[in-house]
Structure 1
Amino acid sequence: MSRSAAGADPEPPAGPVFDSATGAATPAVLPLREYLTGATRLLAEAGVPAAAHDARALAVHALGLPGPSALLLAVPDPGFPPRYAALVERRRRREPLQHIVGETGFRYLTLTVRPGVFVPRPETEVVAQAAIDAAREVVRSGRPAPVVVDLCCGAGPLALSVASEVEGARVTAVDASFDAVDLTRQNAVRTGHRVTVQQGDVRSPALLADLAGAVDVVVSNPPYIPPDAVPTEIEVRDHDPDLALYGGGADGLALPRAVVQAAHRLLRPGGVLVMEHAEVQAEATRDLARAGFTQVRTIDDLTARPRALIARRN
């Protein structure tokens, strides 16, 4: 409001970092907290979950800092306001944070991510832990080089977690997407862990024929969403590839069923299958495994939701 209209000088707005309509940065370079406050407000108004977290992560990226703790002493440079405004605007339009910054954390790893390949999610970390535990069990039994296969590997979080946390593990990762295969190879180089990566269709009976009956652990986060259960989260619905989301068939279980069949063919007797599924698919995935597996059970994720099938080949 102007002085002539109000009869007094206007009060300074709280967090006047971005124009609310355009997201443009104000001309002056302000203290960093002002930018964070304005960005958080804009993102929250756009319905972005964890708006304050994302505002900080974008500032870290815009400033080229090693991590969030470095924000405490960071001083914005003159080029920061427009850089930061552009990043915040992308996130305000619900582009995934991971796509904007180009990476994501998964357990103890930092992985490169990019459009066209499924973004690893925190809930999948319990799937990785179960596979790691199974591989370590093999080592404790006196076999120092457990053979692990990751089917539908995406960006490689499961394969690379096993390779990084189980010394001596021989890990093979497979995906139908050439983009995913390429990205997993990049992440293997980035993290410094050796993983064999190849393109292949989990439905093919010839897949990894040379490993048939010799694998200790099969782990998988396959596509499993039914066709009528379109995700409500904009970042997933509009940005993750359909190939990585929808499992096929009326129940979304065509590809998970193929994973169970491939695991039965690949695993040695006593080998372990760990497969992620939707929280409503726990009973159905247990049913898929009963014919060829024993000790069939479901494990929960960190939010106590049913998250993965674990079964031992008979």
Structure 2
Amino acid sequence: MSIDVRMRLRTALSRTTARLGEAGIVSSSAESRTLIEAAARADGPLVLLDALPEDFDARLEELVARRERREPLQLILGRAPFRRLLLETAPGVFIPRPETELAIDLLLEHARSDDVRTVVDLCTGSGALAAAVLDEMPSARVLALEIDPAARDLAARNLAAVDPERGEVRTGDVGDTQLLADPEPVLGARAGGVDAVLANPPYIPADAIPREQEVREHDPARALFGGGADGLDVPRSVVALAGRLLRPGGLLVMEHADVQGPSTRALAEEMGSFVDIRTVRDLTGRDRFLVALRAHPSTPSTR
């Protein structure tokens, strides 16, 4: 790296970090490096660069200005990390979150003692969970369901980038009574024939306001608010549909808000078709996932 390139990068890092810090971005230093790498079109570490593109300064200014306006970094870059993958992102589609990744660990743990060949991802959004299953479970078939056309198309691209043969995205509403009565025409999976159901549905209560500006202004309301005063209308439909889809012994993992552990366990208990109902905490110690097994017909629901 030449002295000129080194000095330009050092100056760019200092100025960008200061600007992002003034904009209220906590991880200003790390995000500055990411934006500089994008502006430099770097395929590797910045220290390996011999030269900067002619439009480096202009491109960096554009990227930094967008982040100053609190546009999510994942939308600026057009990608988001999730597990071992870099997923494509798109405006108007829910951005994958790190806390959701634990759902895959729960599935893999279950698969060590039970055969998992068909996995359904309800409310798939960008397809993050479905794509991760394809990536980490090479023998599994994955069916994803999404109601929003833009999210459905993005999910289809993310699944195809991992494996165009084993994954499929279908259009449907988890609250559709016809889907619940007979899921196979819409979802491609027969009732009682699925080994695991994953879901990160919308679950925010109607009167709750997301704290983060990026969430309020860029994540679609349909992917945030779960319906009803408690935000559990969509999660309730997810649990009901999972009870219909899963074979006895099949696994349900559903993400929820950190205050909804007791409420979501109650949903599973009220269905009367689940056993081993529990709440799993995320890495910060907050209640995050409803986990349950589909009961055998003669087995009562248990917590």
Please, what TM-score do these two structures have when normalized by structure 1? Answer: 0.86
Match of residue 152 from structure 2: 181
- TM-aligned CA deviation for residue 49 of structure 1: 2.6
- TM-aligned CA deviation for residue 29 of structure 1: 9.9
Match of residue 293 from structure 1: 274
Match of residue 248 from structure 1: 227
Question: What is the CA deviation profile of residues 205-234 of structure 1, one whole-angstrom value per residue up to 9, with x for unaligned ones?
Answer: 333334211011000000000011110101
- Amino acid across the alignment from 1:269: P
Structure 1 distance, partners of 2:209, 2:13, is 33
Is 2:46 the partner of 1:71?
yes
Structure 1 distance, partners of 2:86, 2:59, is 23
Further displaced range: 98-107 or 126-135: 126-135
The equivalent position to 1:128 in structure 2, one of 97, 104, 108, is 104
CA contact (8 A) 1:172 1:197 kept: yes
- TM-aligned CA deviation for residue 66 of structure 1: 2.5
* Structure 2 residue matching 1:279: 3-state secondary structure: coil
Contiguous gaps of at least 5 residues in structure 2: 296-303
- Amino acid across the alignment from 1:137: S
Structure 1 distance, partners of 2:123, 2:42, is 33
- Number of aligned residue pairs: give it: 280
Contiguous gaps of at least 5 residues in structure 1: 1-27, 140-144
* Structure 1 residue matching 2:170: 3-state secondary structure: strand
- TM-aligned CA deviation for residue 78 of structure 1: 3.2
- TM-aligned CA deviation for residue 64 of structure 1: 1.5
- Amino acid across the alignment from 2:48: L
- Amino acid across the alignment from 2:273: G
- TM-aligned CA deviation for residue 190 of structure 1: 2.1
- Amino acid across the alignment from 2:158: N
Structure 2 distance, partners of 1:192, 1:166, is 11
* Structure 2 residue matching 1:280: 3-state secondary structure: coil
Match of residue 311 from structure 1: 292
- Amino acid across the alignment from 1:170: R
CA contact (8 A) 1:148 1:215 kept: yes
Is 2:30 the partner of 1:53?
yes
Further displaced range: 114-123 or 125-134: 125-134
Identity %: 48
- TM-aligned CA deviation for residue 30 of structure 1: 4.7
Determine which structure has more spread, i.e. the larger CA radius of gyration: 1
- TM-aligned CA deviation for residue 79 of structure 1: 1.6
Further displaced range: 129-138 or 164-173: 129-138
- TM-aligned CA deviation for residue 136 of structure 1: 4.2
Structure 1 distance, partners of 2:226, 2:23, is 30
CA contact (8 A) 2:249 2:294 kept: yes
Question: What is the CA deviation profile of residues 53-110 of structure 1, one whole-angstrom value per residue up to 9, with x for unaligned ones?
Answer: 111111111122235xx11233433321111011000000000000000001100011
The equivalent position to 1:147 in structure 2, one of 118, 121, 126, is 118
- Amino acid across the alignment from 1:47: G
RMSD (Å), alpha carbons: 1.6
* Cα distance change of structure 1 residues 182 and 135 upon mapping to structure 2, 3 Å threshold: farther
Match of residue 11 from structure 1: none
* Cα distance change of structure 1 residues 162 and 135 upon mapping to structure 2, 3 Å threshold: farther
* Structure 2 residue matching 1:183: 3-state secondary structure: helix
CA contact (8 A) 2:195 2:250 kept: yes
Structure 2 distance, partners of 1:61, 1:235, is 20
